[in-house]
Amino acid sequence: MLNISEDNINIDKERFQSFKKVEYPNAGKTLTRFLYALAGLVIILLFLPWTQNISSTGKVTTLYLDERPQYVQSAIAGRIEEWFVREGQFVHAGDPIIRLSEIKDDYLDPQVIERTNSQVNAKASAVASYKEKVSALDAQIAALEQNRGLKLQQAKNKIRAADLKMQADSIEYQASLIQFAIADTQLTRQEKLFKDGLVSLTALESRRAKFQQANAKKIESESKWIGAKNEFLNAKLEYNAIVADYADKLAKSRSDKFESLSNQYKAEEELAKLENKLSNLEGRVNYRIIRAPQDGFITQATSSGIGETIKEGEDVVTIVPSNQNLAVEIFVRPVDLPLISLGEEVRLVFDGWPVIVFSGWPNVSFGTFGGTIVGIDNVTSANGKYRLLIAPKEGEEHWPELLRVGSGARGFALLNDVPIWYELWRQLNGFPPDFYIGETNGKQGITNKKGVEKPKQ
């Protein structure tokens, strides 16, 4: 009882058992010892190693793009006629999933392939005909060129003969001029002699007859020479006419050839289009059966029933590949990205598996799995963070076999080992974690954000 009264009340504590049970004479000493022990334990704990880490959440995915769930799409628009699978069924690559029928007007004809094939054959025959015509025109052009050469040679020979005849007639004409000049001189002399009475009239008349013969010879020679010149000019005109005639014939033949070549190329272009159309029609038949692109499980059907129509590129079902190399994608803040590097170790926790996590003491954590960073995005994702891709770490416990793509996961990127007091001091001051920089002066070291090297703990 409290002594707040002036009257003292003495109670015999030995008579009552209650006082014996609640009274501890050494309680103060025990509490003091406990507090000292607790303080010592806390001090010891402050010097225990602590692994700095960056934690984030993510989900399970696959390491390779072709192992992720994918939509199976229809390459053509059509109507569903038959289903070959059900949801949850395992299919092999190439197994049929859906059979479609055509709904477009261009492909409703059941004999469209046969008719298109007939068009291809007809156009191929047209191309062959044009090629034959071009070959015939080439032969015609060669014959014209050969005949032109012969005709031109013949015309050249005729020009040469006319030239020689013209030269001969010119010489003959010059000779007749000389003969005429001589006859004229002799006639003049005879007339003078006749006046002088030295020659008879008969001799004078004979000389006059010879003069007339010389004159006639001169006129005849001149006429022949002029005719020879005309023949020479006619021969040259004939040569030029042959050149022009064969040039016209060759130009017409070459024009016909080029026109045939143009028609041939146009027919070949149309043939190529028809062959392309035929190939597309034949390939389109294969697209009427939608097949599995790889081994996997059918998980979701976006279309169902019989008679529904689907568009080109529309999702039909989702297939999950059977062979998967699992990985985890987590997202880190941009401020933490400089602390992350490829090959760095990460501890992972998966949803649905029991776990006891000590993020600073990964060695004593239970239910965590090891991982290695194998990919870092160069740009931020839609959430404003950088995505890390983490693969299983070799030499550690395998990830759970029942793990599925899309499951939730948490990751702890392990950084530097520091004392707990240093980590508390860093957290209170808002300093970033320490991280490795590799070799320094020949020894492995770590450097904090201020660039001060610290020995590895």
Tens digits of per-residue pLDDT, 66-87? 888 888 988 888 899 989 998 8
CB atoms under 10 Å from CB of 444, counted, come to 11
Predicted confidence band at 135 (pLDDT cuts at 50, 70, 90)?
very high
Looking at 21-35, 318-332, 340-354, 373-387, which range is the least confident one? 21-35
**Contact between 55 and 390 (Cβ < 8 Å):** no
Q: What per-residue confidence (pLDDT) applies to 431? A: 64
d(CA 11, CA 18): 13
**List of residues 6+ apart from 371 with CB closer than 8 A:** 328, 345, 346, 347, 348, 390, 391, 392, 393, 411
Across the range 182-202, mean pLDDT stands at 81
Query: What is the Cα–Cα distance from 143 to 369, expressed in whole angstroms?
Result: 90
Task: Indicate whether 22 pLDDT > 80.
Answer: no
Count of Cβ atoms closer than 10 Å to residue 86 Cβ: 8
CATH numbers and ranges of domains, the chain: 13-63+325-455 (2.40.30.170), 112-287 (1.10.287)
Residue 443, pLDDT score: 35
**What is the reported pLDDT for 180?**
83
Decide which of 446 and 302 is more confident.
Answer: 302
pLDDT band for 445, please (50, 70, 90 cuts).
very low
Looking at residue 193, its pLDDT comes to: 81
Is residue 80 within 8 Å of 104, Cβ to Cβ? no
Q: Is residue 448 left, alpha or beta, with left meaning phi > 0 and alpha meaning psi from -120 to 50? A: beta
Amino acid, res. 346: V
pLDDT at 275 over 60: yes
Mean pLDDT over all residues of the chain? 80
pTM, entire model: 0.54
Residue 438, pLDDT score: 41
What tens digit of pLDDT does each residue of 294-347 get?
899 998 888 777 888 888 888 889 998 888 888 999 998 887 787 788 888 888
The torsion angles phi and psi of 270, rounded to 5 degrees, stand at: -65, -35
Mean pLDDT of 376-380: 87
In this prediction, residue 271 has a pLDDT band, given cuts at 50, 70 and 90, of: very high
pLDDT surpasses 50 at 156:
yes
Q: What confidence score (pLDDT) does residue 174 get?
A: 86
If pLDDT is split at 50, 70 and 90, which confidence band does 451 have? very low
